[in-house]
Homo-oligomer: A and B are copies of this chain.
């Protein structure tokens, strides 16, 4: 028996999110099915980040145990041959038997991508949120600075959360703008996130960028510990889980 870690990339457009559901195809469901067929045993993966419907990933992480003699680092090649082309394993490797993708400490990096222009750009439509309302990137950066560090992010968490605590640590938030203009990326790194947290941060910072919320009010929103105080949850298609880096302690 060995434990195998997969680095999983996917286009979330056609999936009902990561987590297995009674109705609708999910990334976890496809992985379980293809791995079970490949290895000839019932496989159930455990994911690091249970991304929502429509959210993309370049580096989500999943773990499973297997008796298979196939070397862990070769599983990526074999599995990619049976996966649909909107899911691709980037790496497979053996990990310690006690490694857990959600309980082991990590830094996760997400990017929320916005395309801001008079009209939508077709080749960006699946991977960016389009808005024709101008955004002031300087204001967005000013607002973002209040979110770095350790805070109670209750205002930035959907009410459906089952989390025991809503305190989280954000290492950095950068607002990046393309030289040619139009593309704005909110890049957030932190030690774990609450349900919908990055999308609510993105929705709130867009309200700041539009001039509807003064940047310093982000501090007030945090202090309110009330979901109603923050901006809307930004649409799923703009969000991509970039990478998860586990902290060796």
Say which residue of B9, B56, B88, B123 sits within 8 Å of A56 (CB atoms).
B123
Q: In the complex, what distance in Å separates the CA atom of A90 from the CA atom of B90?
A: 36
B125–A11 contact, CB under 8 A? yes
Chain B residues near A90 (CB, 8 Å)?
117-119, 121
Q: Which residues of B contact A118 (CB under 8 A)?
A: 90-91
Main secondary structure of the interface of A (DSSP, over half): mixed
Q: Does A206 contact B (CB under 8 A)?
A: no
Report the nearest B residue to A58, measured CB to CB.
B121
| Chain B residue with Cβ nearest A59 | B121
**The one of B10, B88, B117, B122 that contacts A10, using a Cβ cutoff of 8 Å:** B122
- Alpha-carbon distance A182/B51, docked complex (angstroms): 24
- A117: chain B residues at CB < 8 Å are 90
Nearest B-chain residue to A10, judged by Cβ:
B122
Q: Report copies per complex.
A: 2
A119: contacting residue among B76, B127, B240, CB under 8 A: B76
Q: From A17-25, A79-87, A96-104, give the one contacting chain B.
A: A79-87
Closest chain B residue to A8, Cβ basis: B122
A87 touches B240 (CB 8 A): no
Known pairs A80-B119, A119-B90; A85 contacts B10 (CB<8 A): no
**A144 in contact (CB, < 8 A):** no
**Which residues on the B side are within 8 Å of A123 (C-beta)?**
9-11, 56, 58, 126-127, 240
A149 interface residue, CB < 8 Å from B?
Answer: no
Task: Determine if A11 and B240 form an interchain contact, defined as CB atoms under 8 angstroms apart.
Answer: no
Interface flag for A134 (CB, 8 Å): no
Cα-based distance from A122 to B1 in the complex (angstroms): 31
A176 shortest CB reach to chain B, Å: 11
From 117 to 151 in chain A, residues with beta carbon under 8 angstroms from any chain B beta carbon are 117-123, 125-127
A48 at interface (Cβ–Cβ under 8 A)? no
| Beta-carbon contact of A122 and B87 below 8 Å | yes
